[in-house]
Amino acid sequence: MVEQFAEFKELKNIDKATMISVLEESFRKELAKMFSEKANIDVILNPDKGDVQIFLNLEVVPDGEVTDPNTQIGLTDARADDDPEAEVGEEHTRIIIFEKFGRRAILNLRQTLQSRILDLQKESIFNKFKELEGQLITGEVYQTWSRETLLLDDEKNELLLPKSEAIPGDFFRKGEAVRAVISSVDNKNNNPKITVSRVSNLFLVRLFELEVPEIKDGLINIRAVARIPGERAKIAVESYDDRIDPVGACVGVKGSRIHGIVRELRNENIDVILYTSNPSLFIQRALAPAKISAIRLDEEKKKAEVFLRPEEVSLAIGKNGHNIKLATMLTGYTIDVYRDTEMVYEDDIFLDDFRDEIEEWVIDEFKDKGYVTAKSILNAPRQALIEKTDLEENTIDEVIAVLRSEYEDEEPAETSADAPAAEEAPAADEAETPEAK
């Protein structure tokens, strides 16, 4: 047994000190059955020599007053038992040779020891995987049932993948390697149950940490994740280093990094979004590829009313409503989509088209407050623009002037479309030809 202590450490995750303690405890438990629960027994195991010493400690009492032979011994018997100087009231130690109790006692000891080792092994497995909750693990498919799949890790520990935790479309063959995240570890009735998941948001996070070194190194942080497993996912990232583009780093050159994740998730489409603490801008980015015309927020109720062009509404909602559902999950806001029918879209222009004339930070300030197009600013009262934005009055006036000049410049072009060129137009006093009429 002592020679195998090293193997227990490697195979069953039980160290030498614990194994010695378990062996001593097993001896005491079996000896208590032979003698009495009240018996004072010492078990000393010497791992170097590989022997066990067992001592029964008895109280010396006057002859004829022994009431419990398992805890007391008469004075004459004590002196006759290799203790000639024994006195009443002292403790007499008797050496116990376990082998003398016969084969049945040894078999009982073996069964007790095996049961305790099994309990320790289960406790060790539970403690090990409890610390690994939320971490990525790879298991080999051992057996598949209708409701769950049994995986085995490198140490042959059992991992359960319920059907509800598998991605729709997952199909496994025996012996196939499967990656998942440890979702829960239970130890009911000292029977560890390790459940893994492939639909958890953490699974997506761990895959990104595996594929994107900047995330693992802490240079890029994942701020929010939303998934419809097997269909689509959105993930919001930010960088602590201005030199790093978090979205580009996550996608990789020509999508090299994200393609591996997509394949692992059964071709689940993944949108990587730049995180911002501004809820209005965050919602706009979350609803991509739809372009928002205006947005109205109620931060207390966590509600957003989004106005879009009619042709953008379907993009905002997405196939089977996935886009708006994921945007809601990602931002934490309830999003209501409206068609903005009051705006004349034919001649409206997005603010991003004015970046050559208006500074980018000014455009972003307007967009953060829901003013995304030129008409949305021109149609708003000047005082409202001053109160809602953090811009100076002269800056707002300059922006309004730039936007108005854009539409003033377009007016001649609009009239010329229905009339001949200036040099070809008839004189004012000439009569109109039938063609002109």
* Region for residue 159 given its phi and psi (left: phi exceeds 0; alpha: psi -120 to 50; beta: otherwise): beta
Residue 3 has pLDDT above 80, yes or no: no
Res. 5 pLDDT band, cuts 50 70 90: low
Tell which wins on pLDDT, 356 or 251.
Answer: 251
In this prediction, residue 6 carries a pLDDT of: 58
Mean pLDDT over 236-261 rounds to 91
pLDDT of residue 137: 95
Rounding to the nearest 10 degrees, give the CA dihedral for residues 195, 197, 200, 201. Answer: 110
Using 50, 70 and 90 to split pLDDT, how confident is the model at 275?
very high
Beta strands in 38-87 (DSSP E): 40-46, 51-61, 72-74
CA distances to 140, 224, 344 from 184, rounded to whole Å, are 19, 21, 55
Separation in Å, CA 206 to CA 150, 217, 286, 399? 21, 13, 21, 45
437 CB burial (10 A radius; 0-12, 13-18, 19+): exposed
pLDDT at position 138: 95
Confidence of residue 329 (pLDDT cuts 50, 70, 90): very high
Which residue, among 197, 215, 192, has the nearest Cα to 137 in the 3D structure? 197
3-state helix, strand, coil in the chain (%, to 5): 45, 25, 30
Q: Which residue has the higher pLDDT, 10 or 309?
A: 309
| pLDDT attached to residue 207 | 95
- Tell me the two tokens of residue 220: 């890029």
pLDDT band at 225 (very low <50, low <70, confident <90, very high): very high
Tokens read off for 351: 């603010």
Backbone angles phi, psi at 351, to 5 degrees: -60, -30
**CB neighbours of 102 closer than 8 A, spacing ≥ 6?**
none
Residues 418, 430: Cα–Cα separation, whole Å: 19
User: How high is the pLDDT of residue 339?
Assistant: 80
Q: How high is the pLDDT of residue 422?
A: 37
Are residues 67 and 80 in contact, defined by beta-carbon separation less than 8 angstroms?
no
Mean pLDDT of the chain: 84
Going by DSSP bridges, is the β-strand pair 91-96/51-61 parallel, antiparallel, or unpaired? antiparallel
- Checking if the pLDDT of 214 tops 90, the result is yes
Q: Which two tokens stand for residue 209?
A: 């940490």
Q: Is 119 helix (H, G, I), strand (E, B) or coil?
A: helix
Q: Give the model confidence (pLDDT) of 147-164 as tens digits.
A: 999 999 998 899 999 999
Helix boundaries (H) for 151-299: 201-211, 213-216, 246-251, 256-264, 279-286
Confidence of residue 2 (pLDDT cuts 50, 70, 90): low
The answer to whether the beta carbons of residues 94 and 35 sit under 8 Å apart is: no
Query: Confidence band (pLDDT; 50, 70, 90) for 259?
Result: very high
The whole-number pLDDT of residue 159 equals: 95
pLDDT at 29 exceeding the cut of 60: yes
CA 280 to chain centre: 26
Q: What is the pLDDT of residue 430?
A: 40
* pLDDT above 90 for 307: no
Cis previous bond, 289, omega within 30: yes
- Lowest mean pLDDT, pick from 66-70, 331-335, 416-420: 416-420
* Fold entry, domain 2-126: N Utilization Substance Protein A; Chain:P; domain 4 (3.30.1480)
**pLDDT interval class at 437 (50, 70, 90):** very low
Of how many residues is the chain composed?
437
Q: What is the pLDDT of residues 313-326, one digit of tens each?
A: 899 999 889 999 99
**pLDDT in the model for residue 414:** 41
Q: Output the CA torsion sign for 210, 332, 288, 239.
A: negative
Per-residue pLDDT at 250 = 94
347-416, CATH topology level: DNA polymerase; domain 1 (1.10.150)
Top pLDDT among 161 and 13 is at 161
The predicted structure's pLDDT at residue 1: 59
Please state which CATH number belongs to domain 132-199: 2.40.50.140
**Gap between the Cα atoms of 129 and 230, Å rounded:** 27
Q: Poorest-confidence range of 57-71, 177-191, 307-321, 345-359?
A: 345-359
Over residues 289-297, mean pLDDT: 84
- Domain positions in the chain are 2-126, 132-199, 277-342, 347-416
Q: What's the pLDDT tens digit per position in 157-196?
A: 999 999 999 999 899 999 999 999 999 999 888 889 999 9
User: Which has more pLDDT, 30 or 227?
Assistant: 227
Cα–Cα distance between 43 and 56 in angstroms, integer?
9
**Which CATH entry fits the domain spanning 277-342: 3.30.300.20, 3.40.50.720, 3.40.190.10, 3.40.50.1580?**
3.30.300.20
Instruction: Indicate if the pLDDT at residue 344 is higher than 50.
Output: no
Read off the pLDDT band of 272 (50, 70, 90).
Answer: very high
Nearest by Cα to 312 from 342, 336, 339, 281: 339
Residue percentage of the chain with pLDDT more than 90? 37
pLDDT digits (tens, 9 = 90+) for 80-112: 888 888 888 888 888 888 777 788 888 888 888
